[in-house]
Chain A
């Protein structure tokens, strides 16, 4: 190892320049700032992703609730009960038209509930019936508001039908 002796002038020359120090530090700051920015963006996106995933899950839950309700309302048990409640009876005799020959098959006869011997109200168990949610109330309220109908009676979701011990879905 060798050591050199310098003059004061030469030493001043070798002193690090302020400009390059500032450039170096600014560069460093810029790199850190860029990294920070990128990090923030990634983090922000991660939060957004999480929020969207949560939203997707919530919406999927809502879809499930509505599908369950539709299935409950559309089940043959509920329809049979609703029809029975309205006083409807099935007419076993059908009348058909042949549009090619203009021929009528069968004689139109009114259905007679008494003589049918077929139950009209539901006799088939379904414990999945009767699930109601706030969606049905909300959609009914919306529909009636749109139609300008008074909503005073809408605290109840609809007519709840009962036949025997089997719970029934609300229906309109």
Chain B
């Protein structure tokens, strides 16, 4: 019995302890599983969970035919861990091959563009990181990766590539080394191109290995849109070739050429020389990195005259048969001032076409001053002068056009033939677009649209058209401008066989601080085919050395216009220009 009681007591104590333990553990269990469950789970997740930014790819910029002008590519920084540098053993075809550090360095140096000593000195040390080369291309990266050297590793970066180099470089702009857009369309349309970075979270084990199926995308990635330009890169290249040639031949400061599709107002080419290669903007001076077509204004000179003749015809002051007396010097009734022509001549009797053909300042003044000053101011504004275009290109200039009420007596007259105001090449080209498009000026279009990969349109330009002069005035004006190319001393060189071309030369003296220098901006702006205008081409050459006449501006005009007509398969003209008076006696010269 005694033994029985002893066992029974021991069993009792054991059972009691067991129960106590179960209760204690139970409390702990409830505490962990119920009371603090959320807190503990969160703490655990925080230790496992990693958040990662998924970088959105910057969109492409493409031309009107889909040719890529700017795209995102990946580049690689190649790094090494000098601490681990040593011979590498690899198993090749069942044989262990050992490569010494020198072997690897000899193979690596030419790939990285380093000399051997430089590379070896970088690999020497006790650190875990040293950069060997920055932003190497994918092919080099592949070759280095295939070398299978464990102490070499790489970081991938998105970089911008402009496969066509300086073709449209002045328009495209460029991005900095960190991907920030710094100029041009890259910057202006950054919202469309940049895209939205995404975010992803996933869980990883204690060893840092990602746990499969644990990733959750918390912010979906949205790649940048494609910017579709109206530029035709083949025509753009051609125009840039011509201008590069012109600038080097004439030793000019710069030259620009704009090609516009008359009926749509689309810019097919906006070429400049010098131009910038966006792959390497630092290779050219900062002044050449922007677009002078939009950013630089100049006194236009005589190319303005065909704008004035358009006003004269539209306002009904004169028609194509009316004439004025045009001496080589026209004395004015204030301050003993006079206006003179660029060459000495006996008194001419000039029609509007004659004024253009001989580029007579005096004749232009006689016709133009019959129009009310304020009305002329209004015309100039409607032609688009004095304000930047609707494109609002980066740093676009509005030129200089004072309100007509502020013109002094001389400016009142000189604006008729392009002095006392400044225009940008793009403004002048669109004023000619209005002349060519039956008197209706269209807003310029350079960006057709910005679209996402799934076809969503992020941006589409809103084009406004402005009636500047009547359709009949515009038609007669073009007929008058044709006489420049048919009979004009300089204009003749702009002739294109088989096509009717209308245009105007311009030679403007360049002033600095109010003093006219012996330097010029020479231009030719023209339209073809005159009977059914398709293209406006405007060429300006700034400060050609030793050239004071616009004869040097016609060959580039002719080459570019001819290329545009050929490129777009425009059939030659089948009609002759109308016989209207244009000679020095106010009479008709028959076509030859």
Contact = CB atoms under 8 A, between A and B. Distances in A.
6 contacts: A1-B8, A49-B212, A65-B137, A68-B73, A80-B241, A131-B137
Contact of B571 (A58, A64, A93, A105): A105
B22 interface: no
Contact of A123 (B11, B161, B244, B571): B244
Contacts of B7: 3
Contact of A65 (B4, B139, B237, B569): B139
A1 B13 CA distance: 11
B86 interface: no
Contacts of B241: 80, 118-119, 122-124
Interface in A123-155: 123-129, 131, 133-134
Contact of B212 (A3, A45, A98): A45
A14 to B, nearest CB: 18
A7 interface: no
Contacts of B559: 92, 117-118
Interface stretch (B272-280, B322-330, B393-401, B428-436): B272-280
Contact of B165 (A1, A61, A124): A124
B248 to A, nearest CB: 8
B189 interface: no
Interface in A18-65: 42, 45-46, 49, 58, 61-62, 64-65
B164 A126 contact: yes
A71 B242 contact: no
A85 interface: no
Given A64-B138, A92-B559, A3 B11 contact: yes
A1 B7 CA distance: 12
The 3 closest A-B pairs by CB, nearest first: A126-B165, A71-B163, A76-B237
Contact of A106 (B137, B277, B498): B498
Contacts of A80: 237, 241
Contacts of A119: 241-242, 244-245
A46 B213 CA distance: 9
B567 to A, nearest CB: 9
Nearest to B142: A61
Nearest to A166: B165
* Chain B interface residue bracket vs A: 35 or more
A64 B140 CA distance: 12
B162 interface: yes
B132 to A, nearest CB: 19
A133 B138 CA distance: 9
A111 B533 CA distance: 27
Contacts of A93: 497, 562
A91 to B, nearest CB: 9
Contacts of B280: 125, 127
A127 B163 contact: no
B68 interface: yes
Contacts of B71: 71
A107 B163 CA distance: 37
Interface of A: 1, 3, 42, 45-46, 49, 58, 61-62, 64-65, 68, 71-72, 74-77, 80, 90, 92-94, 96, 98, 105-107, 117-119, 122-129, 131, 133-134
B572 A105 contact: yes
Interface centre among A42, A76, A98 (most CB of B within 10 A): A76
B458 interface: no
B36 interface: no
B279 A126 contact: yes
Interface in B567-587: 569, 571-572
Nearest to A97: B571
A126 B277 contact: yes
A64 to B, nearest CB: 5
Interface string B331-352: 0000000000000000000000
Interface centre among A62, A80, A107, A125 (most CB of B within 10 A): A125
Contacts of A126: 164-167, 277, 279
B498 A61 contact: no
Nearest to B244: A123
B287 to A, nearest CB: 16
A46 B202 CA distance: 14
Contacts of A123: 240-241, 244-245, 248
Given A64-B74, A96-B572, A106 B497 contact: yes
A16 to B, nearest CB: 21
B150 interface: no
A71 B162 CA distance: 9
A63 to B, nearest CB: 9
B163 A134 contact: no
A168 to B, nearest CB: 11
A112 to B, nearest CB: 14
B68 A124 contact: no
Nearest to B497: A93
A62 B562 CA distance: 41
Contacts of B68: 71
Contact of B242 (A72, A94, A106, A118): A118
A94 B498 CA distance: 10
Given A65-B142, A124-B240, A125-B165, A92 B275 contact: no
Given A65-B142, A71-B68, A128 B279 contact: yes
